[in-house]
Structure 1
Amino acid sequence: MKNVVDHIPVFLINLDRAPHRLARMDEKLRSLGIAYERFAAIDGRTLSPDFVEAFAPRATWTKATKRPIANEVACFHSHLSVLQIIRDRGYERACVLEDDLDFAPDFGTFLDPTLQLPADTDFLKLEVAKFRQLKVLPLGPIGVRTLGLISQDGDAGAAAYIVTALGARNLLPQLKPMVNFYDHQAFGAVTWKPRVYHVIPFPAHQEDGSEMGRAAEHWVSRSKTPERKVRTRKPFHRRMKSSIKKRMSFPRKVAGYVRLHGIWVTAGLLFRAKLMERAELVGELYRPHELNASCSPSPRNRNP
């Protein structure tokens, strides 16, 4: 496909058995003048139970009572493979898309290789899946939208994001083994502290449903709704013990980070945590309809 506009490399993850999705995405991307490279997604139907267990071992899975289905493992494996391609080719920045997206008219502006991003950027997220009200700490303008930090729930979804060379190098060692779903392990705090920024309002929106099984099903077995438990007050000495443990956990974590990563990396992580705390305290509250793919001049000029 011929480039219409100059932009960073774009990878489209698409299953061989979903040509209808490829045709729809091809039409949308062509209308925006965006060239892309298709990556044949790994199909969960071809993965054996042994491979799933080896890729996402039960012993290391974050939620021992629940297991990922083969489709989620395949989705994770597909994103991992694309990141390896980006690293091996030496791209400074690249965009990763899934095949179930709608785009705002200005989506292409965020693929501009000259777009200014914070120097520590690992990822720039262009959508968030199944969002509700989110607190956003605005950092400054980016195009006609706003660059921000989302304090909670900003890691959900991996349908549209930009990864930098720094982000790919930092993330790849953290993706083996699979201990959580891709979006939470890549953008969340499961194994590391990535520098993830968001474009607000989101210039991309994920459609409902997915051929890769992301929205349709998340678990191998679904547990029944647990019975309601009667809450009882703990004895005083147990409450005091729990309180002391909570108060001592933070200094222990800081000391552990200093031993593993050094004082400067730890200081950077603490600064990042302070930013996220500020986002939670003073961040602007956005309603779901204000975060969709519609192109508005500025989120700050929205109606109350």
Structure 2
Amino acid sequence: MRASLQLPGLMVLLINLDRSTQRRAQMAQRLNNIGLGYQVLSAIDGSAQCEQLQPTVDAGAFRWHTGRGILPGEIGCYHSHLKAWQLLLDSPCQVLLVLEDDMVFKPDFAQALVTSLRGVEYWDILKLAKIRAKQPVRQGFLGDYSLNAYIGAATGFGAYLITRKTAQRLLPQMLPIRAPIDRELERVHRYDIRHFGLEPFPCQPHDEGVSTITGENFSKVTRPPLRQRWTKYVEQTRNLFGRIFYLFRRGRLFASNTNLQLRSPT
């Protein structure tokens, strides 16, 4: 289907493992229904390339942050997102929409996307879906949507926008791997980024309990005993206070009712 949603300057990449043909077909239908043009990015298969990519992982730091070892799929996922950012930088586009292959779009997705792009000056990374989005703090309104920062956990990287300038600044800092990519970028205080969410979120993940990273119902994730996981809770607490102090310093800790001015579409 020919794309009917024209968004100049936007690159859209669908991350999909070559072997995940059913997911690719489902996403093609969903994106065609919206009329959104896109490219398929062949995801890096962490299982097939684990040995090759292992040197890019700081195994000790990852265990400290998460309380467990890294999964091959997490390595592949992390590098797939970095690959997407590099493709943005290799293009003339100014903004990248990254989609993982388990997204389901709500009826207002196109409206939300247009609104997000018109308000691009107000964010660096903008999440359009979430797994967790705890203790939101409204930074203002973009049209009918709330632009939120988060004091608590803000996980899930299935659908987000990132600006060219942000990708260019972050890429050199992203290796070695110290945590899953969504957890790494929760640390807004480390990277000094406006990492916000657009709520109500216009899409959501739906993998029917089967993940190409963690397996069916998280079967690939081994939960170590508490005595081996205490570092995870130390790090979560450290990041919580880091975010609070950072948001306070940046004047983002308290909710705002400001209607943020949107530029007219070009």
TM class, shorter-chain normalised? 0.7 to 0.9
**Higher mean displacement: 4-13 or 72-81:** 4-13
* 1:31-46 equivalence runs, <5 A: 31-46=33-48
User: Does the aligned pair in 2 maintain the 1:15–1:211 contact within 8 Å?
Assistant: no
Q: Which runs of 5+ in 2 are unaligned?
A: 229-237, 258-266
Give 3-state SS (helix, strand or coil) of 1:46's partner.
Answer: coil
| Percent identity for Structure 1 against Structure 2 | 28
Residue of structure 2 in register with 1:262 after alignment: none
Give 3-state SS (helix, strand or coil) of 1:119's partner.
Answer: helix
**Higher mean displacement: 51-60 or 211-220:** 211-220
User: Does the aligned pair in 1 maintain the 2:188–2:195 contact within 8 Å?
Assistant: no
User: Does the aligned pair in 1 maintain the 2:82–2:171 contact within 8 Å?
Assistant: yes
1:261-292 CA-partner distances (Å, limit 9, x unpaired): xxxxxx997632x423x35xx99xxxxxxxxx
Give 3-state SS (helix, strand or coil) of 1:198's partner.
Answer: strand
**Higher mean displacement: 58-67 or 31-40:** 58-67
TM-score relative to the length of structure 1? 0.69
TM-score relative to the length of structure 2? 0.78
Counterpart-to-counterpart distance in 2, 1:218 and 1:270: 39
Give 3-state SS (helix, strand or coil) of 2:140's partner.
Answer: strand
Once the two structures are TM-superposed, the CA of residue 59 in structure 1 deviates from its matched residue by 4.0
Residue of structure 1 in register with 2:249 after alignment: 271
Residue 114 to residue 185, structure 1, CA distance change in 2 (3 Å): closer
* 1:1-304 equivalence runs, <5 A: 2-7=2-7, 8-48=10-50, 50-61=51-62, 63=64, 66-112=68-114, 115-117=117-119, 119=121, 121-130=123-132, 134-154=134-154, 156-189=155-188, 191-208=190-207, 209-214=209-214, 216-217=217-218, 221-224=222-225, 271-272=249-250, 274-276=251-253, 278=254
Q: Which runs of 5+ in 1 are unaligned?
A: 228-245, 254-266, 284-304
User: Does the aligned pair in 2 maintain the 1:187–1:194 contact within 8 Å?
Assistant: no
User: Does the aligned pair in 2 maintain the 1:67–1:219 contact within 8 Å?
Assistant: no
**Higher mean displacement: 116-125 or 186-195:** 186-195
Give 3-state SS (helix, strand or coil) of 1:128's partner.
Answer: coil
Give 3-state SS (helix, strand or coil) of 1:61's partner.
Answer: helix
Give 3-state SS (helix, strand or coil) of 1:68's partner.
Answer: coil
Counterpart-to-counterpart distance in 2, 1:61 and 1:190: 18
Counterpart-to-counterpart distance in 1, 2:23 and 2:120: 34
Alignment size in residue pairs = 239
Residue 210 to residue 186, structure 1, CA distance change in 2 (3 Å): farther
Residue 57 to residue 135, structure 1, CA distance change in 2 (3 Å): closer
Residue 82 to residue 168, structure 1, CA distance change in 2 (3 Å): same
Residue 51 to residue 210, structure 1, CA distance change in 2 (3 Å): farther
Once the two structures are TM-superposed, the CA of residue 153 in structure 1 deviates from its matched residue by 1.3
Counterpart-to-counterpart distance in 1, 2:226 and 2:79: 31
